[in-house]
Structure 1
Amino acid sequence: MRGLGDLEAAVMDRLWAWEQPATVREVLDDLRRDRDLAYTTVMTVLDNLHRKGWLTRELDGRAYRYRPVASRQEYSAELMRQALDSSGDNTSTLLHFVGEMTTDEVDAVRRALRSLQRRARRESQQP
């Protein structure tokens, strides 16, 4: 997976924010507040995102309604995973990243790690 292009990111931002399927026309109308785009441009971007596996689509009359496959957070986590994997030294990179975190973010990571440890202990105790 690679990062999204500028227009792809703008389209995904709208779909993530709306949290409901949208047509090309709906996305286009919203994007036109910021930039001048053709219907076919937005249709191509949505089709490309669908082909790449980022969107599902469902026929609604004569138009498709598009919906993200993953949440914004899942997408961001995958980008972070790729960055970590391409760093050459996962541990050192992760330690540098953690060093840049806020206190609230560090606390959230601690809670998540404790939760994962509890779950792993429960699973190891099951027959």
Structure 2
Amino acid sequence: MHYIWKHGPSTVHDVHTALNAATTGKQLAYTTILTVMRNLARRKFLSQAADGRAHRFTPLIDEKTYKLGMVRQLRKDLFAGDIGIMLSFMALDDEIEEAKRAKLRDLAG
């Protein structure tokens, strides 16, 4: 999704090439990328249209809307909808600089 949000409508080949160029580890199989992109299309995150022999995938949801939905779901599923508890847990993350963690604690109440 990040690649398609950044670059717009893309083929599986485009995404496969970019992801494998960005990794030094195990290369991802073309069929793995194809399966993921088809699943995203099935779930209505992407549209899929024929473009010659290839298929071009286009985002149906923008990044901000997607992330907001994920954060809402996280808050509901893990924190019973309580934003204060969620912020308290975020403030425990020692990968966040202390000044920002203090702000989170203040916001959590």
One fold, TM greater than 0.5?
A: yes
Question: In structure 2, do the counterparts of structure 1 residues 88 and 41 end up closer, same or farther at CA, with 3 Å as the change threshold?
Answer: closer
TM-score of the superposed pair, with normalisation by structure 2 = 0.68
Q: Write out aligned runs for 1:1-127 (5 A).
A: 12-18=1-7, 20-33=8-21, 34=23, 35-86=26-77, 87-90=79-82, 92-93=84-85, 99-100=103-104
The Cα shift of 1:52 comes to: 1.7
Larger Rg: 1
TM-score of the superposed pair, with normalisation by structure 1 = 0.59
Percent same amino acid at aligned positions? 32
The Cα shift of 1:79 comes to: 1.1
Looking at structure 2, the residues matched to 89 and 41 of structure 1 have their Cα atoms a distance apart, in angstroms, of: 35
What 5-or-longer segments of structure 2 have no aligned partner? 91-102
The Cα shift of 1:93 comes to: 3.8
The Cα shift of 1:92 comes to: 3.3
State the one-letter code of the partner of 2:58: R
Identify, as 1 or 2, the structure richer in helix. 1
